[in-house]
Amino acid sequence: MMLQKAQITEQQLKKAQAQVRRMAAELERSRDLRRVIVHVDMDAFYAAVEMRDSPELTDIPMAVGSMSMLSTSNYHARKFGVRAAMPGFIAKKLCPSLVIVPTNFDKYRAVSQEIREIFADYDPHFMPMSLDEAYLDLTDHLEQRQSWPDSLRTHFHLIITRSNFFLFCKEEDSIELPQETVPEMDLSPVLFEDGPSSSPCLIHECAAGDGVFEVFGKSIEEAVREMRFRIEQKTMLTASAGIAPNMMLAKVCSDKNKPNGQYRLPSTREAVMEFVQNLPVRKVFGIGKVSEKMLNALDISSCSHLGQKMALLSLLFSETAWHHFMQVSLGLGSTIIPRHEERKSMSTERTFKELNIAEEQLSLCRELCENLAEDMKKEGLKVVTEGSLSLAACDS
DNA sequence: ATACATACC
DNA sequence: TACTGGTATGTAT
């Protein structure tokens, strides 16, 4: 690429510059700042679930995974440089006291289901990206919200008092509470005891002073704060969120005040351009280790550099890659969240189904691959991906 | 069409 | 001792 770069003439660059200007103007015309896109991301998800369920893990560095590979680590462990996608045995060298907990996928799936129920209240067409994160379009919710009474924006705190008294609320629970406790609420608060020595009058005290419930406002920030609050009440886990006019920016914003925070990028061209100027290219979804290295070699590390070198990039990268860079440098991204149901995925099952592969054939392929893997190990060869091999065998 | 590469969680 | 596994998409031939 550097060789190619050296052969570029002044004239080529000039011509490209004109092209870039035309494209920028066209993209600018397509800019849409009307949508409110939110990216929600659970904080250190797997690790947080394990810490929640095992209190002895809360104050120590821990990670979820195995000696071969870690999925994620808690913030304590991150101080030692222990990261997701790091082999456990290397993490142990960085942090000898690290506790590694095996993954409990079923548990994370269950928690994921819980948070998705909350997401659906704000955007029935939200797009889950993994068990712990999702994109939501809050534009419609926000419009509805403006005419909502306070009661629909009221949510209950979980209170743990000295006498082990809990009060919290779930809309779907139907357990009755004495009327005088929380007046004028559509929601039914639930009251239950978790200790022998408790007195109901505590509720009155809390309701009057400490704010057992909270009324959230009508702004986007309040709506997102409310959503995060509900997630925390329901799962005892925290989430971070980013609010922006498109998916690309929302994703970056959700990382800004992590953990347990949120960040809103105002929906104005000026704010977006300002934000994008100082944004390291590596932060952008789709620009990974390799692309970063290539861009760095061209003295590009932030998105402002990206914008300055678009003409050069058009001569070195493919049309699609260049187009992506172009969008990024202008702070543009998708404002339409592909609908959950409409997204077609090439799942393993689907592949098998479409290729008309019988369960029998599949297990035969798997067996074949297992045998092959065995033989390879005997020969001292490294087996990288057994699962994908069986899929490849079927594919062929 | 196929293989290989990059990226994401 | 030990460096994933699943999915999507881009690039090269």
pLDDT at A380: 62
User: Which residues does A288 contact at the CB level (< 8 Å), separation at least 6?
Assistant: A282
Q: Which nucleotide is nearest to A84 (CA to C1')?
A: B9
My answer on whether A236 and A163 are in the same domain is yes
Residues contacting nucleic strand B by the 7 Å CB criterion are A 85, 129-130, 132-133, 251, 284-292, 396
On whether residue A340 sits in a domain, the answer given is no
User: Are residue A316 and residue A199 in the same domain, yes or no?
Assistant: no
Alpha carbon of A30 to those of A106, A137, A332: distances in Å? 43, 19, 9
Are A237 and A128 within one domain?
yes
Judge if A253 and A281 occupy the same domain. no
A112 in the same domain as A257: yes
Q: Domain for residue A198, yes or no?
A: yes
Cα-based distances in Å from A152 to A36, A120, A168, A367: 21, 16, 16, 56
Q: Read off the pTM.
A: 0.81
List the CATH number of the domain containing A308. 1.10.150.810
pLDDT at A213: 85
How long is the CA A40 to C1' C10 vector, in angstroms? 27
- Return d(Cα A304, Cα A330) in angstroms, integer: 9
Rounded CA gap, A69 and A111, in Å? 22
Judgement on whether residues A112 and A180 belong to the same structural domain of the protein: yes
Give the per-residue pLDDT at A366: 63
What does the block give as tokens for A263?
A: 């960040």
- Name the catalytic one among A28, A133, A193, A359: A133
pLDDT at A382: 56
- What is the reported pLDDT for A156? 84
Tell me whether residue A57 is in a domain.
yes
**Among the listed residues A67, A115, A108, the one whose alpha carbon sits nearest the alpha carbon of residue A87:** A67
Task: Classify residue A131: in a domain, yes or no.
Answer: yes
Q: Which helix (H) or strand (E) holds A245?
A: none
Residue A355 lies in a domain: no
Residue A361 lies in a domain: no
Say if A334 falls within a structural domain.
no
Q: What is the nearest nucleotide to A351, using C1' and CA?
A: C7
CA of A268 to C1' of C4 (A): 42
Confidence at residue A1, expressed as pLDDT on a 0 to 100 scale:
83
Which strand B nucleotides have any atom less than 7 A from protein CB atoms? 3, 5-9
Examine the fold and report which residue of A239, A262, A285 is the final residue of a domain before the chain moves on: A262
How many structural domains is chain A composed of? 4
Which of A226, A242, A262 is at the close of a domain? A262
| Residues 6+ positions from A330 with CB-CB distance below 8 Å | A24, A27, A28, A31, A273, A276, A307
Question: Does A310 map to a domain?
Answer: yes
Residue finishing a domain among A237, A262, A287: A262
CA to C1' distance (Å), from A345 to C8: 8
- A292 noted as active-site residue: no
**CA of residue A395 to C1' of nucleotide C13, angstroms:** 20
The domain in which residue A6 lies consists of 2-33+268-329
**Tens digits of pLDDT across chain A (396 residues):** 888 889 999 999 999 999 999 999 999 999 999 999 999 999 999 999 999 999 999 999 999 999 999 999 999 999 999 999 999 999 999 999 999 999 999 999 999 999 999 999 999 999 999 999 999 999 999 999 999 999 999 998 765 433 333 333 334 333 334 343 433 333 333 333 333 333 333 333 344 445 578 999 999 999 999 999 999 999 999 999 999 999 999 999 999 999 999 999 999 999 999 999 999 999 999 999 999 999 999 999 999 999 999 999 999 999 999 999 999 999 999 999 886 555 444 455 555 555 555 666 666 666 666 676 666 666 666 555 544 455 444 444
Q: CA A281 to CA A304: how far, in whole Å?
A: 9
